[in-house]
Amino acid sequence: MMKRKETNMSTIYPFTALVGQNQMKLALLLNAVDPRVGGVLIQGDKGTAKSTAVRGLAKVLPMHRDGTPMKVVDLPLHCTEDRLVGTLDIERILQEGKQKFSPGILFEAHENILYVDEVNLLEDYLVDTLLDVAAMGVNRVEREGISHSHPSRFILVGTMNPEEGAIRPQLLDRFGLSVTVKAETDVALRMEVLRRRLAFEDTPQAFIESYRKDDEALRNTIESARKALPTIGVDANLLELIANISITLGVEGHRSDITLLNSSRALAALQGEPHVTMDHLKQLTPLVVSHRMKRKPFEQREFDETMLDNLWATYEGIQK
């Protein structure tokens, strides 16, 4: 039997080589086009390409303005608050009158991807801090009446296995999008996963090279979508529809409205369309509202597309 070659840990499986999991890939790409979408929570069993997709995404994102590549910054499960936000050397400040700040993970994550695996097992106060910074785009550290702040804008990706513990509804609402991934049940797709994985492990560089053009094409699409984003229009009747979707489903607050608006504009930009359409809203509504719907204790209420059939029909009539 031939001995399989070891895969270098720095070798990243190409994003465009991923088989299936289209909702997950779409959610990641929408955040790549517009981080205001608010990040994505990916729920699913182990071995469903969650981590692979996140790391592959970084390789297809356009470079920073200084020519450095985007990177994935990992937030460890047992991270301390100081490691997350950074620390101020109070003693040195008092003695020398100079501010000494030691940056944390949120500094490193600026304009990169911040990846939190098993986010449901992370301490609640850390998740609160993380999501507050993600919403504001600024990390502010205060100690003994002394403060320091720095920009911290990033694409937030959290992953979790629901069987290992739930996440508080208040925190769920703070993630822009949520997708659930499952192992493929189609035999042909599972076989294709095996073929590609085998090829990647045997000859990783050759495999990566075979998807280089696809990755470059996707990078160009993302870059074009970012440039087009400010020009994407939304008709007044679709703004009304967005508001009615949340009301019909009993979703509290306005985050769902804002996220659906931002994500639908990002999708239109990705597809090279000048305006948001009802099809964009239909496609993205499950990703935006499924984790925000009201649930009674122990209730397993899930989004059902038939809940909005009457609403779609009403607005389709208006558009004709």
Q: What are the pLDDT digits (tens) for 13-30?
A: 999 999 989 999 999 999
3-state secondary structure of 11: coil
The answer on pLDDT for 297 being more than 50 is no
Assigned superfamily of 15-181: P-loop containing nucleotide triphosphate hydrolases (3.40.50.300)
User: What whole-number distance in Å separates Cα of residue 191 and Cα of residue 14?
Assistant: 18
Select the more confidently predicted residue: 255 or 45: 255
Mean per-residue pLDDT over the chain, rounded: 86
**Residue 235: strand, helix, or coil:** coil
User: What is residue 13's predicted lDDT score, i.e. its pLDDT?
Assistant: 94
Give one word for 126, left, alpha or beta, with left for phi > 0 and alpha for psi -120 to 50. Answer: alpha
Confirm if 43 and 15 have CB atoms less than 8 A apart. Answer: no
Residue 273, phi-psi category: left (phi > 0), alpha (psi -120 to 50), beta (remainder)? beta
Q: At 215, which amino acid appears?
A: D
- Residue 45 tokens read as 């069993």
Residues recognised as catalytic: 255
Q: Residue 88 in contact with residue 99, Cβ under 8 Å?
A: yes
Lowest mean pLDDT among 50-59, 135-144, 294-303: 294-303
Cα distance between residue 247 and residue 44, in whole Å: 28
Domain boundaries, the chain: 15-181, 230-319
pLDDT the model gives residue 165: 82
Give me 81's structure tokens: 């608050």
Task: Give pLDDT, residue 4.
Answer: 37
Region 230-319: CATH code: 1.10.8.80
